Amino acid sequence: VGSGHDDELDEDLPNIGMRPMSFDPLLMVSARNAFMELVRANYCEQINDGFFGQHGGGRAEALLHSVEGTIASNEGKLNDLTFLQQELEPMSGTPDEAASPPPHTTSGLANGARSLAKSQRFQTFVSASIMVSVIIDIVYDSMKPNSESLRPMWLGVSIGLLAIFLLEQSVRLFAYKTAYFKKASNVFDALLVLLTTIGIILELSGMKNWVFAADFWVFRLIRVFRLIVPTRVADAIQFWQQIKKKFSGKGFSEEQAICMEHILMYTAFCKAHVHAQHEFVEFFGRKHMPLPGEQACVILESHTLVYKASVATLKAAASLDQEALDDINILREGSNAVKTMRKLISQAQEQNMISSSAAETLMEPM
């Protein structure tokens, strides 16, 4: 009876796509969980093979967490790519950028403001303005009380720099809306700009001389906050690093590092899913084909996620320099060559063709 039943199934295999299929919810859940266990096993193989590098523990944990989240939720479809993207969000810039609405839900003007706020030129221009403001404040304060003749020029330069800072804060506020206030440094910068504006207005109106005494606490508080501007020295240091990298042709780019991180994670995701698909059909299918409709549905869901992850990988690669992409290829080819050599040396040692000390000597630089 079993043989006859198998023959009927074999005859139906070519026409499996022509039959109406009804899905069993419990079998669907079991199929997804079994598939995700295969994905987890493939991640573990990649970890053991050193795919994530010596310091890739965080990357491996993010991938394993995506598997655990999918098995725990199982909301009717495979969603480990969604969990993985949530794990990647902390790598993707500042909190106000991560919390901003997606581009398709905002106007073109807001998208343009967001692009301007993230652009390297805009950040460099603002950092240079901060450095100039710090230098001018320090020089002017050191020249007092013999700087009355320079006071109009100092006020003019301060007003110009204040206009730049107001423009910066306005662009960021317009780009990120309420998400702008979720970052403490943005609130602090806005407070500095506000108090700087009040201080310049007081100086222009002459209220320092005839309303406020020199030791009046309000004016002194405003002057203290104006001198807090140099605390943004971190921006100035970042600006100096950018200039140094620009002229030396070398340096570390945080944006490119994040892109390479995403490429590595999405590549591991695609490899795990593709291998799991083959193993899933091999273990539970027949003649290298998924047998019930639930298995076919799981394969299709997984393949859709692989395409989505591939698109995300291409988008990340598009923002990388060609030199960085070449380095990735060289690293991958070199890693494969090292693995092949290690296997060859291990086999030679097992066959007693070389001694154990010679094998250790050869493997040490690898």
Task: Look at residue 31 in the predicted model and tell me its pLDDT.
Answer: 85
- Is pLDDT of 21 > 50? yes
Greater confidence (16 vs 115) lies with 115
Mean pLDDT of 91-119: 58
Query: Chain-wide mean pLDDT for the chain?
Result: 73
Band of residue 104 on the pLDDT scale cut at 50, 70, 90: very low
pTM of whole model > 0.75? Answer: no
- Is pLDDT of 308 > 80? yes
Mean pLDDT of 257-284: 88
- Is pLDDT of 5 > 50? no
Cα 130 to Cα 236: distance, rounded to the nearest angstrom: 7
- Is pLDDT of 171 > 80? yes
Mean pLDDT of 189-197: 76
Q: Give strand pairing partners of 289.
A: 286
Task: Look at residue 79 in the predicted model and tell me its pLDDT.
Answer: 82
Mean pLDDT of 37-45: 89
Band of residue 91 on the pLDDT scale cut at 50, 70, 90: low
Cα 29 to Cα 32: distance, rounded to the nearest angstrom: 5
Share of the chain above pLDDT 70, in %: 66
Band of residue 204 on the pLDDT scale cut at 50, 70, 90: confident
- Is pLDDT of 54 > 80? no
- Is pLDDT of 274 > 90? yes
